[in-house]
Structure 1
Amino acid sequence: MDSSSYKRYNVHGYDSRQHLEHYFSDKKEMVFAEDTLKFPIENLKRTFETGHIKGDVLIDLSTGSCVHQLYAACEFFRDIIVLKVSDRCILELKRYLDSRTGAFDWGHAIKLHGEIQGNSDQLQDKEGKLRSVIPHVVKYDFEKKNITDPIVLPLADCIISAWLLDTVCKDQDDYIRYLRKFSGMLKPGGHLILIGALGTTYLTVGKERFHAFTYDEDFVRKTLAAEGFVIDNFKARKTTAMSDLIDYKFTIFIVAHKEK
């Protein structure tokens, strides 16, 4: 298939439940667990347990309706504000946050988080804590000057963005432009945590194939530096997953801070 015919996540949207089932579930055929669940959860735990990253507001800008990237963070921020590009993703996420019947079951990710953290007896407390610190799920549009207009958000102490830039960027110019918007939403000295995939050209959700921005480690390092970020930690994990759903080569985890 010609890549120019691929759909765009932020333009066409995708089935958010199907996306979760493909890439974040506990189904036997879900082969990405080491990259999409274990690797991020382990690194987020290590990042937040140092106690250096904390504050009043964390903003999450992540693809689809995933929440597991927030389990480690919820103890360290008064409020977590989640931004989503589509109504479908917002509805899927709210099913989970409101504990509705039919919500996606994140029990396997909570269990993994507990095993890594060594407190498996407090799993329900973790889900309750996460739900209690998310006051708002807000729709955004990267093409607006204020992406959440008419809502004006407070500047964040930390932004987590998991796989979002991979799916919304057409090219390097988009990546730079959107990263600049992230910077404008952060306090001076605030932290940016990026989770992404190197070398991806497409991802599949259901029967539809979506565009993915292809970039490498050198590009992301140079771009962060050019936009005023200092990288504190950079981890890359080579994938061992074999699937026709997506063609990434590495999963990356980056912690950077915005220079004052």
Structure 2
Amino acid sequence: MASGTNRNDIYRRDFDPKDYMDTYFNKTSGLFMDDHYLKFILTHLHNTFSSGDVKGDTLIDIGSGPTIYQIMSACEAFKEIIATDFSEKNHQEYKRWLHNEPGAFDWSHVGEMVCKLEGDRSRWTDKEKKIRAAVKQVLKCDVLESNPLDPVVLPKVDCLLSLLCLEAASKDCDTFYCALQNITTLLKVGGHLVLCGVLGCKAWMVADKQFPGLPITEDFLRSSLAKCGYDVKEVQVQPVAGKCNVNLCDYYGNFYLVAEKKKEVK
């Protein structure tokens, strides 16, 4: 998100990472457990990162938030993972889990889902260790900056992973496209972008706080990726009509896509 925008101010003032994880990822009451978002995303992440087609030395997770579910499969395919987020509060919560500190969110119920996909539900303890060993840095990230990781400058990486970030950071479709262009500068030609999120979301809640969304569509995603030099390899969409709590988050579908960067676009 660009410095000084209203969205930045809202996140700084109102976003509580613990409330967010409890609202969406709580084992018994989390929305993403109930509407099958998590099962959908974890299954496709497992399929992608176990295929052997998307692998390499370094993956950057763009907009990690306070969560680690998105890298549970990626840690098997990449030697190094770099977590990034705009919010210092998210950094603190992420590092609390990374350093195994008291009060960290318990991801075991999600980890067991991933380990079951990998063939052994009981491997979660080993998986935890592997994730913590793989995450080498936790960096500030502003997706509307030309270098989203400024002032850090990194060599281009093999893979970008981003879930629920660009649509939260972007006030309109032009802003989303700008953010996509900016993160793409971090990726090698021939590298992969794994992008996941929700479709049609205008707003979403954490506890009693409302946050703005961006109601993107599959067609918009495809056209934006093409203009940024990507070849879309896979798109999966899961409708959630009749399942999601529209008072909490008003989206109508989950999406998952994998694209390969074919060229640099100025």
TM-score w.r.t. the length of structure 1 is 0.93
Distance between the aligned counterparts of 1:143 and 1:251, measured in 2?
24
Classify 1:77/1:258 alpha carbon distance in 2 versus 1 (closer, same or farther; 3 Å). same
RMSD over aligned CA atoms reads: 1.4
1:143 deviates by 4.0
1:77-117 deviation line (CA, Å, top 9, x unaligned): 11100111011000000000000000000011001111222
1:22-60 deviation line (CA, Å, top 9, x unaligned): 111213x32321433211110011111110111111000
Identity level (%): 35
Question: Does the CA contact (< 8 Å) of 1:20 and 1:64 recur in 2?
Answer: no
Distance between the aligned counterparts of 2:65 and 2:37, measured in 1?
13
Which residue in 2 is equivalent to 1:11? 9
Answering whether residue 247 of structure 2 is matched by residue 244 of structure 1, we say: yes
Distance between the aligned counterparts of 1:68 and 1:140, measured in 2?
19
Answering whether residue 145 of structure 2 is matched by residue 144 of structure 1, we say: yes
1:76 deviates by 1.3
Classify 1:25/1:154 alpha carbon distance in 2 versus 1 (closer, same or farther; 3 Å). farther
Which residue in 2 is equivalent to 1:113? 114
Distance between the aligned counterparts of 2:155 and 2:104, measured in 1?
29
1:226 deviates by 1.2
1:243 deviates by 4.4
The aligned runs of 1:147-186 (5 Å cut-off) are 147-186=148-187
Which residue in 1 is equivalent to 2:83? 82
Distance between the aligned counterparts of 2:155 and 2:83, measured in 1?
13
1:134 deviates by 0.5
1:202-228 deviation line (CA, Å, top 9, x unaligned): 011121111001111111111111111
Higher relative contact order at CA 8 Å, sep ≥6: structure 1 or structure 2?
1
Classify 1:59/1:199 alpha carbon distance in 2 versus 1 (closer, same or farther; 3 Å). same
Q: Secondary structure at the match of 1:132?
A: helix
Distance between the aligned counterparts of 1:142 and 1:118, measured in 2?
36
Question: Does the CA contact (< 8 Å) of 2:63 and 2:141 recur in 1?
Answer: no
- 5+ residue gaps, structure 1, are 1-6
Question: Does the CA contact (< 8 Å) of 2:144 and 2:179 recur in 1?
Answer: no
1:66 deviates by 1.4
- 5+ residue gaps, structure 2, are 1-5
Distance between the aligned counterparts of 2:235 and 2:54, measured in 1?
16
TM-score w.r.t. the length of structure 2 is 0.91
Between Structure 1 and Structure 2, how many residues are aligned? 252
Answering whether residue 30 of structure 2 is matched by residue 30 of structure 1, we say: yes
